């Protein structure tokens, strides 16, 4: 399986990542990626950048070192109503939006409350991907989440960093296998991401690919094999 794009990476603007845009793009080019998403954390994540960082995306080139670039955000879901931490002109400036639950920004709820938060976030037209829905600290009815993603034309993420045995997300592999089982049944595509916070991790999909293989998940439902497949979910032909 030829995975040519990585849509979830972080730079020093996120406050807890360690490389610049140029360093991340150069790493993507060296690894043969055709497209890279720079998705720094939105403002409610402690230490991250202000909304002005996102408003000024017009200043950035959309291709470097032969790699197409998308500039977006990993948006924080703030509450059970799916409120996000970018609005107005700042969220409209995004090329790509990933909505995720993070403990510093969201108080864990019941499975139903967490599901409601995800679904309401999906209904925001600037959300294209639900990030790492595999964290057992935030339980969710996975079947209902998969069906909601299909209904709202939103991708579900298989996050390579979640599967790091030294990471902090709980029961990620078990939850990812269940997500993939249900996505296979309902024909819901997934997108694999590195969630890289350092240049060496750009395009690192190794743990995620092992889970894909373990699940017997079909290649045609993996968005990373085609830029055109991704653009269809972003609503752009660029």
User: Residue 98's closest CA among 80, 120, 68, 77?
Assistant: 77
Give the pLDDT confidence score for residue 238 in this predicted structure: 47
Output the tens digit of pLDDT for each of the chain's 238 residues: 999 999 999 999 999 999 999 999 999 999 999 999 999 999 999 999 999 999 999 999 999 999 999 999 999 999 999 999 999 999 999 999 999 999 899 999 999 999 999 999 999 999 999 999 999 999 999 999 999 999 999 999 999 999 999 888 999 999 999 999 999 999 999 999 999 999 999 999 999 999 999 999 999 999 999 999 999 999 875 4
Give the pLDDT confidence score for residue 104 in this predicted structure: 92
**221/171 Cα distance (integer angstroms):** 23
Give the pLDDT confidence score for residue 167 in this predicted structure: 87
Yes or no: say if 155 and 223 are a contact pair by the CB < 8 Å rule: yes
Length of the chain: 238
**231/128 Cα distance (integer angstroms):** 10
Helices (DSSP H) in 31-129: which residue ranges?
51-55, 88-92, 111-122
Bridge partners, 191 (sequence order): 157
CB atoms within 10 A of CB 60: 12
Yes or no: say if 119 and 151 are a contact pair by the CB < 8 Å rule: no
What six digits make up the tokens of 229?
A: 């497949």
Buried b (16+ CB within 10 A) or exposed e, 166-183: eeebeebbebbbbbbbbb
**96/186 Cα distance (integer angstroms):** 24
Yes or no: say if 190 and 178 are a contact pair by the CB < 8 Å rule: no
């Amino acid at each position: 399986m030829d995975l040519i794009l990585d849509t979830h990476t972080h730079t020093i603007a996120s406050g807890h990542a360690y490389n610049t845009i140029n360093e991340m793009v150069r790493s993507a080019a060296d690894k043969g990626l055709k497209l890279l998403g720079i998705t720094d954390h939105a403002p409610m994540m402690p230490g991250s950048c202000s909304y002005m960082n996102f408003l000024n995306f017009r200043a950035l080139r959309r291709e470097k070192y032969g790699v197409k670039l998308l500039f977006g955000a990993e948006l924080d879901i703030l509450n059970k109503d799916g409120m996000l931490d970018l609005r107005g002109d700042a969220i409209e400036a995004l090329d790509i939006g990933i909505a995720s639950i993070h403990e510093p920004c969201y108080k864990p709820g019941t499975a139903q409350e967490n599901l409601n938060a995800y679904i309401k976030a999906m209904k925001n037209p600037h959300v294209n991907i639900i990030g790492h829905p595999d964290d057992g600290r935030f339980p969710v009815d996975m079947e209902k989440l998969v069906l909601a993603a299909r209904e709202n034309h939103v991708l579900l993420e298989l996050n390579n960093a979640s599967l790091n045995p030294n990471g902090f997300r709980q029961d990620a592999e078990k939850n990812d296998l269940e997500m993939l089982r249900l996505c296979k049944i309902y024909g819901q595509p997934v997108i694999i991401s590195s969630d890289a916070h350092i240049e060496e991790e750009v395009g690192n999909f190794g743990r995620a690919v092992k889970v894909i293989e373990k699940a017997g998940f079909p290649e045609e439902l993996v968005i990373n094999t085609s830029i055109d497949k991704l653009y269809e979910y972003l609503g752009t032909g660029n």
